[in-house]
Amino acid sequence: MVFRKLPGVSASGMGLRLSQKFMFLLFLSGLVTLCFGALFFLPDSVRLKRIFLSKTEIQPVTVGSGSENDVREHLKRPKDQGMTSAKGEAGIKLKSQSRKPPVSYEATEVRLAGGKAQEDLNLSRSKTESASEKVTSSNHGANSDTFSYKKFRRCLFKPPLGRDNGRPVDPQTNERREKVRENGEASLFEVNIRYVGGLLSAYYLTGEELFKNKAVELGEKLLPAFNTPTGIPRGVINLGSGTSWSWGWASAGSSILAEFGTLHLEFVHLTELSSNPVYTEKVMNIRKLLNKIEKPHGLYPNFLSPVSGNWVQHHVSIGGLGDSFYEYLIKSYLMSDKTDDDAKKMYYTALEAIEANLVQKSPGGLTYMAEWRGGILDHKMGHLACFSGGMIGIGADDGAPEKRQHYLDLAAEITHTCHESYTRSATKLGPEAFRFDSGAEATATRLSDRYYILRPEVIESYMYMWRLTHDPKYREWGWEAVEALEQHCRVESGFSGIRDVYTTSVSHDNMQQSFFLSETLKYLYLLFSDDDLLSLEDWVFNTEAHPLPIIRNSCLQDDATQEKTASE
């Protein structure tokens, strides 16, 4: 091989002068420093590292894929100390459990921060994916994506309910424990519409057997409330002992029309799911008694004695104490696939009596529902009564042919009046009750009626009237309510009722009622949704807005027959 000679350098390269050697070494060391500096300190150095470093050194950090000691070393790092991987500048932070699980360490989450790191991760994924899968399968067999309840139970030190349901050995301690267990009283009405109704809806919407079983189990606990001389249930029940009693404020120990009359939808479904006729028998017995006793002017007073089966007071209201009884009559008919003729007859007969005695027109042309006290009208309409616009609307099409348009018009007029109670306030939210006397129209005249507690009834009627007519004003009215809620009721942790709807300097009551989520927001959401979301052709909403399906026995029987034929 021929070498080209350089000045002062022999062909062998060994004849350098001392000063030339020094300069050559200085140049060489600078070149090395520059190269390694570029390798480790320049921003886009990952590809260079792949050239110089082995694959083992550039594997992404995966906590849990190494030994238990490696995991512990990671967990020892301070919480705010980032960790730079071999894949560039991306910071990787580790989250750890505060307590060590009884059997094995949980997989620690690893987060990649920064777009560049994600780009690098994608580039190397093809090289590392198979290796990572092998490591994961070998070390994370107990932590697969599918949760295993059996494996979870094996990780517990002790059974959740103890060896004897936690029963203490000491008799005095056990006696005190049983005393605590007694404070299980509940409203028959509220448990039914909220919990039984909610569980039934959850079952019908998901098919999960757990919800069905719990609904039936809870329904069984309500049955002792019907153990009265008349079969009219009392309003309060101890779910543990089965003891029941009437509300202390109810006149002469009476039961409330809106409570014992708001069981039918849920109890029919309990029979449907459990094949136990007792639930339907209980609510049908209530109907029989109501059909038998005399009704003043065809009206249903709010208080009935569960002992004698007679009315206690002649106070009639489509609002509080009476409201949902009428609602459940028409909805029972609809839910039966329009086969429950008894419910239909009771509803339209009651509606005729309401029109004749309670429906009024104000001097300003507003249609409203007054209350009836022993023959004397009280020209007050409660917010609770504003559901009646929607109720009359959904029943309009099944009334007498000559009255169908009349009922739809009446529904629209009542809904319009309730909207006026909103627009006539400073906050554009309606009061608890509004009056039509002493020159007042659709406004609260008493300080005790000026509050709003996130009630849903007005919006409920908007939703039904939209579904029935598709008049865009109902959506506009609903949006007005959304804006008012956002402006006056939203607080840091949710939504709150306000004490006075007639002042924009609102005072919050610091309470978000449960029906705000269950009803108010649900009806608003449905109002702005297409009609096929929980279609009224298939579903009926209970009075807490839990959807229950229409029972089409003919369809169910046909399917059962076909299945039987196919199996044979």
Q: How far apart are CA 362 and CA 368, in angstroms?
A: 8
Q: How far apart are CA 368 and CA 386, in angstroms?
A: 9
Q: Which long-range contacts (CB under 8 A, 24 or more apart) does 434-440 make?
A: 434/380, 434/381, 434/383, 435/379, 435/380, 435/381, 436/360, 436/362, 436/366, 436/368, 436/370, 436/379, 436/380, 436/381, 437/379
Helix, strand or coil, per DSSP, at residue 42: coil
- Supply 512's token pair: 């978000």
Q: How far apart are CA 306 and CA 253, in angstroms?
A: 8
469 in a known ligand binding site: no
Q: How far apart are CA 515 and CA 295, in angstroms?
A: 32
Q: How far apart are CA 131 and CA 124, in angstroms?
A: 12
Helices and strands (H, E) in the chain, number of each type: 22, 20
In contact, 283 and 225? CB cutoff 8 Å? no
Pick left, alpha or beta for residue 21 (phi over 0 → left; psi -120 to 50 → alpha; otherwise beta).
Answer: alpha
- Supply 52's token pair: 């110089």
- Angle, helices 457-469 vs 388-395, to 10°: value is 30
In contact, 263 and 192? CB cutoff 8 Å? yes
Q: How far apart are CA 212 and CA 202, in angstroms?
A: 8
Instruction: Count CB-CB contacts under 10 A for residue 308.
Output: 14
Q: Which helix (H) or strand (E) holds 433?
A: strand 433-435
- Supply 197's token pair: 């109704």
Catalytic residues: 190, 323, 432, 457
Beta strand 311-313 with 303-304 is antiparallel
Q: How far apart are CA 391 and CA 324, in angstroms?
A: 10
Question: 60: number of CA atoms within 13 Å, CB side?
Answer: 28
User: What is the Cα gyration radius of the chain?
Assistant: 37
In contact, 418 and 407? CB cutoff 8 Å? no
Q: How far apart are the first and last CA of the chain?
A: 96
Beta strands in 370-467 (DSSP E): 371-373, 376-378, 380-382, 433-435
Token pair 């705000």 in the structure block, residue: 516
Q: How far is residue 416 from each of residues 289, 458, 459, 481, measured CA to CA in Å?
A: 36, 10, 11, 14
Which residues are known binding-site members for Ca(2+)? Answer: 543
Which residues are known binding-site members? Answer: 543
